């Protein structure tokens, strides 16, 4: 029997208690949360001993049997394999419990989608987040071609492609619809490339009506941005982290994924620069403004804590790890709610950064450098935001005073 933090563990898992406790502490679990994990471990160990099993028997099937018993006993927490993740990962890392066995699926859609994903990763070199969008569209389209568990691609016609696009794009924004048809074209080219269709049906995908630059970029006003920053309680660790994240988004116009990928070594304090890991694996350096540097330093000194993780921004809750791009967007969303601002995504702050630079007289070419646009034509959309400058270019309507 092992006794730690008021929890007694007996049975086949008792010998692993100390190592598990140390690992939980390293991953940032509070003493209370770690003790609760030990209580779960104690319950599992008692059940294994009663069943005459050891840790090596903890297969997926055995885990399901234990969870059924745990639910029937009236427990309300950690009732799924995901909830038992920290303990299972620890035991599997030690080689004590067997790793989960991958189940080979006979689903023809899943088989083809997996092959398509492998192609996108190996041949196209796309990022995982981008591949996820392609995968979602491919799964939707291929699901319309299944009959009684069989995938019919030989009979695929132009009208089928058009019907799918019409159905999926109804009610969606222009941007989402354009991404959908682009992803579908990639799938149809892949199907022809691998010999699953006789002809490439990519040209049959209808174009989405939408003109580049026809709409104003959605940006927050100066007062709204100020309210977002003030909403962060910088007396708390999480507030200092969120303030640093928002400052990077507002001042440098970084994308959510770029903020999530920042590492400690990307900050060059001597040169006053920050290394940004942008789209397509590009590495680009930007000047580090004083206010951004001060916000990051405050987080590093009194917010981030002592962690072995090299990513700059970490999750507030255990297990320890880097923020995801989705978490960066969530930080913006929560700040909007606190500040009483209509919720926007992280990209709106990128638009806000560009708009503010334009109002301060920064040339379009320099804004393009900060935003790291491949072409200044992409940045030119922000010229429409400066209405005061545009008024100087307008001519009076004939017959009216200027």
281 and 372 share a domain?
yes
Number of domains observed in the structure of the chain: 3
Residue 212 lies in a domain: no
| Beta-sheet strand order (sheet of 283-287) | 267-268, 273-277, 283-287
Active-site position among 192, 347, 359, 384: 347
Residues 183 and 232 in one domain: no
Q: Each residue of 41-57: pLDDT tens digit?
A: 999 999 999 999 998 99
> Quick one: 149 and 196 in the same domain?
yes
pLDDT digits (tens, 9 = 90+) for 308-350: 889 999 998 888 889 999 999 999 999 999 999 999 989 899 9
Residue 42 lies in a domain: yes
Same domain, 132 and 245: no
Residue 269 and residue 376 in one domain: yes
Identify the active-site residue in 70, 234, 255, 351: 255
Run of H or E including 287: strand 283-287
DSSP string for 88-118: HHHHHHTTSSPPPPPPPP--HHHHHHHHHHH
Question: The domain that contains 374 carries what CATH number?
Answer: 1.10.443.10
Helices (H), 232-391: 237-252, 256-260, 290-302, 325-339, 346-359, 364-371, 376-379, 387-391
Burial environment of residue 10 by CB neighbours within 10 A (0 to 12, 13 to 18, 19 or more): middle
Last residue of a domain, one of 156, 176, 204: 204
Q: Is residue 214 part of a domain?
A: no
| Domain-embedded: residue 400 | no
Q: Is 255 a catalytic residue?
A: yes
Q: Is residue 210 part of a domain?
A: no
pLDDT at position 389 is 54
| Residue 347 appears among annotated catalytic residues | yes
Choose, from 90, 185, 304, 350, the residue flagged as catalytic: 350
Mean pLDDT score of the chain: 87
Residues 226 and 388: their CA atoms lie apart, in Å, by 22
User: Smallest Cα–Cα separation from 31: which of 44, 43, 22?
Assistant: 22
373 is known as an active-site residue: yes
Domain region containing 30: 2-93
Same domain, 78 and 112: no
Which is catalytic among the residues 39, 192, 359, 373? 373
Residues 272 and 327 in one domain: yes
Structural tokens at position 124 = 């196209």
Indicate whether 126 and 263 sit together in one domain: no
402 in any annotated domain: no
The residue among 93, 118, 144 that closes a domain is: 93
- For residue 399, the model assigns a pLDDT of 66
Alpha carbon of residue 6 to chain centroid: 38
Q: Of 71, 230, 279, 317, which one is the catalytic site residue?
A: 279
Same domain, 251 and 342: yes
- Note whether 320 and 346 are same-domain residues: yes
Extract the residue ranges of the chain whose pLDDT is less than 70: 101-106, 210-217, 382-397, 399-402
Q: What pLDDT, on the 0 to 100 scale, is given for residue 103?
A: 55
Alpha carbons 363 and 365: distance in angstroms, whole number: 5
Q: Residue 38 domain-assigned?
A: yes
302 three-state secondary structure: helix
238 and 144 in a single domain? The answer is no
> Choosing from 16, 243, 299, 382, which is the catalytic residue?
382
Q: End of a domain among 93, 123, 156?
A: 93
**Does residue 82 carry a catalytic annotation?**
no
**Cα three-residue angle 196-197-199, rounded to 5 degrees:** 145
| CATH number of domain containing 132 | 1.10.150.130
- Is 215 inside a domain boundary? no
List beta partners, residue 277.
Answer: 283
Q: Are residues 244 and 338 in the same domain?
A: yes
């Amino acid at each position: 029997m092992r006794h730690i933090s008021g929890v007694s563990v007996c049975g086949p898992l008792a010998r692993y208690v100390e190592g598990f406790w140390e690992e939980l502490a390293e991953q940032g679990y509070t003493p209370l949360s770690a003790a609760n994990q030990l209580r779960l471990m104690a319950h599992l160990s008692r059940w294994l001993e009663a069943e005459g099993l050891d840790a090596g028997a903890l297969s997926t099937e055995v885990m399901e049997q234990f969870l059924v018993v745990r639910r029937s006993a009236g427990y309300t927490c950690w009732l799924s394999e995901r909830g038992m993740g920290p303990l299972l990962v620890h035991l599997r890392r030690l080689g004590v419990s067997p790793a989960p066995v991958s189940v080979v699926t006979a689903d023809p859609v899943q088989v083809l989608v997996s092959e398509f994903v492998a192609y996108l990763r190996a041949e196209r070199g796309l990022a995982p987040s981008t591949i996820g969008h392609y995968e979602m569209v491919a799964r939707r389209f291929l699901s319309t071609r299944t009959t009684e568990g069989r995938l019919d691609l030989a009979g695929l016609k132009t009208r089928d492609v058009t019907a799918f696009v019409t159905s999926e794009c109804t009610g969606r924004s222009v941007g989402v619809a354009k991404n959908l048809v682009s992803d579908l074209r990639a799938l149809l080219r892949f199907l022809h490339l691998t010999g699953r269709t006789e002809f490439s049906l990519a040209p049959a995908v209808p174009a989405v009506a939408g003109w580049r630059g026809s709409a104003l970029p959605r940006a927050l006003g100066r007062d709204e941005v100020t309210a977002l920053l003030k909403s962060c309680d910088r007396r708390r660790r999480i507030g200092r982290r969120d303030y640093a994240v928002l400052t990077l988004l507002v001042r440098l116009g970084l994308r959510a994924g770029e903020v999530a990928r920042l590492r400690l070594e990307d900050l060059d304090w001597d040169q006053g620069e920050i290394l940004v890991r942008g789209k397509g694996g590009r590495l680009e350096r930007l000047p580090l403004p004083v206010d951004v540097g001060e916000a990051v330093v405050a987080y590093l000194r009194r917010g981030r804590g002592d962690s072995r993780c090299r990513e700059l921004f970490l999750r507030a809750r255990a297990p320890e790890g880097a923020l995801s791009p989705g978490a960066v967007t969530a930080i913006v969303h929560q700040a909007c709610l606190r500040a009483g601002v209509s919720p926007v995504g992280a990209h709106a702050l990128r638009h806000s950064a560009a708009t503010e630079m334009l109002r301060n007289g920064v040339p379009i070419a320099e804004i393009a450098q900060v935003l790291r646009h491949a072409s200044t034509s992409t940045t030119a959309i922000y010229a429409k935001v400066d209405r005061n400058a545009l008024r100087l270019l307008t001519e009076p309507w004939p017959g009216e005073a200027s």
